[in-house]
Amino acid sequence: MTLKQHYDLIIIGAGAGGGTLAYALASTGKNILLLERGGYLPREKSNWNPDEIFLNQRYQTQEKWLDSNNQSFSPEAFYFVGGNTKVYGAALQRMRAEDFGELRHFDGISPAWPLGYDTFEPYYTRAESLFKLHGLRGEDPTEPPATNEYPFPPFEHEPRIQEVADQLQNLGLNPYHLTLALNRDEQHPENRPCIRCNTCDPYPCLVDAKCDAQVTCVDPALKQDNVTLLMNAKVTRLITNNEGKIIQAVEAEIDGETQQFSSDLVVLSCGAINSATLLLKSTNSHHPNGLANSSGLVGRNLMLHNHSALIAASHQPNETVFQKTLGINDFYFQGPKQDYPLGQIQLTGKTVWQRLKHMAEGEIPQVVLEYIAKHSVDWWITTEDLPQPENHVTLNSQGQIVVNYTPNNLKPHQELISTLEQYLKQLDFYLFWTKQMPVKVVWHQAGTCKFGNDPKDSVLDLNCQTHDVNNLYVVDSSFFPALGAVNPTLTIVANALRVADHLKDQWG
């Protein structure tokens, strides 16, 4: 085994958290190594081929994980430079100010964060600028206070979606333009790589117009000589010094060989499930239950969001090409008949028959799927799931990832779906196909190393440094103490910018 060059900082995982951190610290001149288990997602025609995306799962990991019944499943996780953001829907939102406080939900309490919205506000502003957000401030009644306008105006609705938006508004709702991280500048047509196509969410972007973590953060960071990216480098273990207080080496498998790297600081950013399991794997005599796990909370409080697709068909064909432009947060904090939060409604990428086939439980003739896809407007419904210690990730004796997750807070989720259906029935929709996402849809995984003040009740301190190991940080979706019901990535990015400021202060 060879011990490679010593670095100032090693970042493990080049996704939303790790990529943003690398970007924010690149200008410091510090010697930074990014270790990423994947390579660059290939740019090829298959990026935009629905057969490849929905029927062949071409870009999804081939790994198999186990659920709480010991059943094997293929997680919808994507190991590339840019991480899961390579295929994300790019709908980025601030958590609501209230999400940072304690909120009573149907199934219990969503706990308060140890830091308030005010701390995150300036970082959200920077994150929105970095990820080129398009939107219109003030349209969404639940939007938290913000110091800046969005950097770009909203993506306009196409005619069918505008019609739906107008009709919902007439029924008293407040549909708003979804806030999107796409590189399209109407004022400067020469700078318009986004072509508003029908292969955006959840496809990789063939023209690199999606502001994902690779395009937005990693590639610009690599323009600095002091930043190095090592791909196909799967980190397998973190090794401490004899006292167990310092990470002395990071062990990775590269081309079938084990190599070690060392650095002053190590930042783990593999996504909530992989970061936690890497800590659990890295046991030693000082950390018998997993590294940085004196609280016993590493891997616990896993949250995934309650997600459902609602395919709503009318007799009118839906010719929309770029559909993901509308959101509804009227029931975010309470339902029409409920005094507890229901969650968020947004449009998703325009459904094609292949996506419906992927969703279907049994065999449905292709001609039927094609008819539905031609006539549907397609919604994505998200309800907060509450952090519960029983929902945890662990490893079995063969080192395989086990996801023990039982959904909670499902009643408000069903109520949100039926509330939307009631509204859509008052328009011209008559056919509704709902599919609740199973555990393999780990897109919004979070919470497995929550941050907090008390080392007994959190894994990370307020700067996302582990309480137990001095030079180890976790800067991905693991740190969330509660998830809210908005999409998580803007908060992950904002937090990475915040931790970067902290590290810069440390470096002086």
Ligand X SMILES: Cc1cc2nc3c(=O)[nH]c(=O)nc-3n(C[C@H](O)[C@H](O)[C@H](O)COP(=O)(O)OP(=O)(O)OC[C@H]3O[C@@H](n4cnc5c(N)ncnc54)[C@H](O)[C@@H]3O)c2cc1C
- Closest separation between CB of residue 163 and ligand X, Å? 24
Residue 12 contacts ligand X per CB under 6 A? yes
C-alpha closest to that of 328 among 345, 311, 316, 350: 345
- Closest separation between CB of residue 17 and ligand X, Å? 3
- Amino acid identity, residue 459? V
Q: Is 423 helix (H, G, I), strand (E, B) or coil?
A: helix
| Contact with ligand X (CB under 6 A) among 7, 22, 26, 38 | 38
| Contact with ligand X (CB under 6 A) among 9, 10, 11, 13 | 13
Residue 385 contacts ligand X per CB under 6 A? no
Residue 452 contacts ligand X per CB under 6 A? no
Residue 39, CB-side half-sphere exposure with 13 Å CA sphere: 5
201-230 residues in contact with ligand X (CB under 6 A) are: 202, 213
CB contact at 8 A, 466 and 474: yes
Residue 14 contacts ligand X per CB under 6 A? yes
- Closest separation between CB of residue 14 and ligand X, Å? 5
Alpha carbon distance 77, 62 (integer Å): 9
| Contact with ligand X (CB under 6 A) among 330, 378, 384, 476 | 476
Residue carrying structure tokens 């406080």: 101
Build a one-symbol-per-residue string for 484-503: x at contacts with ligand X by CB under 6 A, - elsewhere. Answer: ---xxx--x-----------
Task: Work out the angle between the directed axes of helices 117-130 and 489-507 (0-180°, nearest 10).
Answer: 100
| Residue 443 labeled ligand binder | yes
Using CB atoms within 10 A of its CB, is residue 257 exposed (0-12), middle (13-18) or buried (19+)?
Answer: exposed
E strand intervals along 315-426: 326-328, 344-347, 376-383, 392-395, 401-404
| Contact with ligand X (CB under 6 A) among 9, 11, 17, 143 | 17
| Contact with ligand X (CB under 6 A) among 10, 41, 91, 127 | 91
| Residue 467 labeled ligand binder | no
Residue 279 contacts ligand X per CB under 6 A? no
Alpha carbon distance 59, 46 (integer Å): 10
Query: Among all residues, whose Cβ is closest to ligand X?
Result: 15
Alpha carbon distance 360, 306 (integer Å): 18
Q: Which is nearer to ligand X, 301 or 375 (CB)?
A: 301
Is residue 202 reached through a cis peptide bond, with omega within 30 degrees of 0 on the bond before it?
yes
Residue 65 contacts ligand X per CB under 6 A? no
Residue 59 contacts ligand X per CB under 6 A? no
Build a one-symbol-per-residue string for 414-443: x at contacts with ligand X by CB under 6 A, - elsewhere. Answer: -----------------------------x
| End-to-end Cα distance, the chain | 35
Is residue 365 reached through a cis peptide bond, with omega within 30 degrees of 0 on the bond before it?
no
| Contact with ligand X (CB under 6 A) among 274, 382, 383, 388 | 274
Residue 444 contacts ligand X per CB under 6 A? yes
Q: Which is nearer to ligand X, 26 or 492 (CB)?
A: 492
| Residue 358 labeled ligand binder | no
- Closest separation between CB of residue 37 and ligand X, Å? 4
DSSP 462: T
Alpha carbon distance 130, 449 (integer Å): 26
Alpha carbon distance 287, 37 (integer Å): 25
Report the interface residues with ligand X, using CB under 6 A. Answer: 12-18, 35-38, 76, 78-80, 83-85, 87-92, 202, 213, 234-235, 269-271, 274, 278, 443-444, 476-477, 487-489, 492
- Enumerate the known binding-site residues for FAD: 235, 443-444
